[in-house]
Structure 1
Amino acid sequence: MTGSLLQRAQHVSETALRNGALQPLSTIIETVCEGALRFQLRTLSSLKYKENTQRIKQAGNHTTNPFKPYDPHLFVCDIGPSHICLLNKFNIIENHLLLVTREFEPQTNLLNPSDFKAALLGLKEIDGLVFYNGGREAGASQPHKHLQLIPVKPGDLPLAMQLSGFSDRPEANPALPFHQAGIQLPVNITDDPDAGSQWLYNHYLTLLDHLHLSHKMKQTTIAYNLLLCREWLMLVPRSTESFASVSFNALAFCGSLLVKNQHQSDTLKSAGITNALLSVTGAMTNKSGKYA
């Protein structure tokens, strides 16, 4: 790879836009405040309804694996020994990257140190957010294991103030209005991706246990979202994929939500985004009263 990861992504994006390999979704952004909480609500542009609808349908097509083989026009670079970095074909945020395993693994598999190494190599060069949708109920749209990385500018994470409240031990953050647990990362964790990835893997397993997300045969028994930046790691258990027909992925839990039309936007605002987040992370319990 020549140049920084972000420079490389920008260069590939320019070329992919010209040849049609990159097909962004157009949205209208609105800020919604609920008490001390701010949310960024993105509504698909009605002016480009036909394009957006077609692209969303294509993005959710599970009959083929878009990562094997991948579109060479979307290839950014190799990232770590086990992953490649691709542009997200149907991006909403510029320079949205996918960290995809070279060989097929199910998206429901547990993350491993190699996954966290790829994430840290990305975060070392891009001050951004890595997220993972662990299963269909967590908003996963493709069955091939992949993390996602987006650059973050000031204001891009509406719940930034609340998210900065994690401590140096795994626990729930009381400032966040939904079920979750997280931990503050050691300073400069990206300096040594090998050591850092093992630290993240160990604490990821601890957070799974803290949330009673039992796991066996490399998979958890229920879906969850993972969010990771240079400062903190957070896991969010999921009980359902949507609220009032609005699908939520990991980005919803940093305050950024996507709706398909104005009707969904009005429904979500009427019900309350805070209520929706709590609803989709509601506890799924077994007879012992803990997560199954």
Structure 2
Amino acid sequence: MSRIKAPGDLPDLVKKAFNAARANGDIHYFPTQVTILTAGSIPFQLRFSPALANKPKGPPPDPAAKSHKPFDPFENPPPALRVADVGPSHFVVLNKFAVVPEHFILATTAFKLQTHLLEPSDLEATLSCIRAYEGHEDGLFAFFNSGEHSGASQPHRHIQLLPIARMKDGLDKTSSWDVLTDRLSERQTPFAAFTEKIHLEMQGSDLHEAYIRLYRRAVNAWARFTGSRVQQVASEGEAVMSYNMAMTKTTLALVPRVAEGVKITSDDGHVLGNLALNGTLLAGTALVKSELEWEALRKDAAGLVNALRGIGLPHSDSIDAEEEQEKTKI
């Protein structure tokens, strides 16, 4: 039996904590407008939240402090945001700046770097949260941002989790949108993605082996694309590239990143803004803060497709990497 186990009533704990924190002003919730764009054959959510442009910033450094260590929101989170422990190594805390209701975070209890490769306990704790949501509406989507091009914003290691039912808020019941991670093998994405099938009863060590296999295939494709020289792809320590990882109850996915975002331009070439993407791209979602960006992308989904192409490797690189892997098995 695993010693890392999320509370069985985690969905209720998260919902109650979110509702209380929102009512008491302990979190900032940013409602969005939503539309579905078609990126190739992929139904892709585009959400617009103008209030995010005025998102509150973290506390400034204390000039009286002896050191100016960056603020770590996971070092000692407010009791109103902390939801539960997940084994001795992790805890669940609400996202203080939520676009999706009940968005929560799985953080390491001890400080560990976001840019280092995940450990078996990280993956086991994540799957335990997903397991707790089994049978609860549509389940849970988890994602991890690592590196300067991934959309990562905090150095303290954390994995973000979104109730899929809440990701559908605002969509028509007949919408064709679903979580992209579970359909990556069926759809040609504008970016290279690497996947493995998983299941809810996997142990942390087996999950970690699958994750490292994906990471190594992705690094090899990234090195070919960028012309980087990688002597050996380690299974621990600092990651050599930026990437996003996503996990659902059936799929583990990894996307190498070469840019955080791309410029959105008008028909006459004027720059309207910058579309930045994090690991939610593996759910098939994107977020804009500017009405100019919102209107431009709604008018022409080609801007979204170009952004998805620009942040990663060409789709053919994932095919080439899979073929290369098969050759090594022969």
Q: TM-score, normalised by structure 2?
A: 0.74
1:272-291 matches, within 5 Å, as 272-282=303-313
Q: Indicate how the Cα distance of structure 1 residues 263 and 229 shifts in structure 2: closer, same or farther if over 3 A, else same.
A: same
User: Does the CA contact (< 8 Å) of 2:105 and 2:159 recur in 1?
Assistant: yes
Query: Partner residue of 1:5?
Result: 10
- Correspondent of 1:31 among 36, 60, 76: 36
Q: Indicate how the Cα distance of structure 1 residues 243 and 11 shifts in structure 2: closer, same or farther if over 3 A, else same.
A: same
Query: Partner residue of 1:203?
Result: 210
- In structure 1, stretches of 5+ residues that fail to align are 167-172, 284-289
Question: Residue 162 of structure 2 aligns to a residue in which SS?
Answer: strand
Distance 1:158 1:53 in 2: 26
- Whether 1:44 aligns to 2:57 is no
1:65-144 matches, within 5 Å, as 65-126=72-133, 127-144=139-156
- Correspondent of 1:251 among 277, 280, 289: 280
User: Does the CA contact (< 8 Å) of 1:158 and 1:254 recur in 2?
Assistant: no
Q: Bigger shift: 154-163 or 64-73?
A: 154-163
- In structure 2, stretches of 5+ residues that fail to align are 1-5, 62-68, 134-138, 169-175, 221-232, 264-273, 315-320, 322-330
- Whether 1:16 aligns to 2:21 is yes
Distance 1:21 1:2 in 2: 23
Q: Indicate how the Cα distance of structure 1 residues 155 and 13 shifts in structure 2: closer, same or farther if over 3 A, else same.
A: closer
- Whether 1:241 aligns to 2:241 is no
Q: CA deviation at 1:20?
A: 1.1
Q: Indicate how the Cα distance of structure 1 residues 91 and 81 shifts in structure 2: closer, same or farther if over 3 A, else same.
A: same
- Whether 1:176 aligns to 2:189 is yes
Q: Indicate how the Cα distance of structure 1 residues 80 and 162 shifts in structure 2: closer, same or farther if over 3 A, else same.
A: closer
Paired AA for residue 238 in structure 2: Q
Q: CA deviation at 1:197?
A: 1.7
Query: Partner residue of 2:160?
Result: 148
Question: Residue 243 of structure 1 aligns to a residue in which SS?
Answer: strand
Q: TM-score, normalised by structure 1?
A: 0.82
Paired AA for residue 195 in structure 2: G
Q: CA deviation at 1:19?
A: 1.9
- Whether 1:219 aligns to 2:238 is yes
User: Does the CA contact (< 8 Å) of 1:164 and 1:232 recur in 2?
Assistant: no
Q: Indicate how the Cα distance of structure 1 residues 161 and 106 shifts in structure 2: closer, same or farther if over 3 A, else same.
A: closer
Q: CA deviation at 1:116?
A: 0.7
Cα deviation 1:170-214 (Å, max 9, x = unaligned): xxx6622211110112xxx323xxx52211100111111111254
Q: Bigger shift: 269-278 or 52-61?
A: 52-61
Question: Residue 120 of structure 1 aligns to a residue in which SS?
Answer: helix
- Whether 1:232 aligns to 2:251 is yes
- Whether 1:54 aligns to 2:54 is yes
Instruction: Point out which structure has higher relative CO (alpha carbons under 8 A, 6+ apart).
Output: 2
Cα deviation 1:51-95 (Å, max 9, x = unaligned): x33325449999311111111110100012200100101111111
Distance 1:2 1:181 in 2: 30
Distance 1:104 1:161 in 2: 31
Distance 2:180 2:104 in 1: 25
Query: Partner residue of 1:170?
Result: none
Distance 2:47 2:102 in 1: 17
RMSD, matched Cα: 2.7
Q: Bigger shift: 23-32 or 220-229?
A: 23-32
Q: Indicate how the Cα distance of structure 1 residues 60 and 128 shifts in structure 2: closer, same or farther if over 3 A, else same.
A: farther
Q: Indicate how the Cα distance of structure 1 residues 212 and 2 shifts in structure 2: closer, same or farther if over 3 A, else same.
A: closer
Question: Residue 305 of structure 2 aligns to a residue in which SS?
Answer: helix
Distance 1:124 1:158 in 2: 23
Question: Residue 230 of structure 1 aligns to a residue in which SS?
Answer: coil
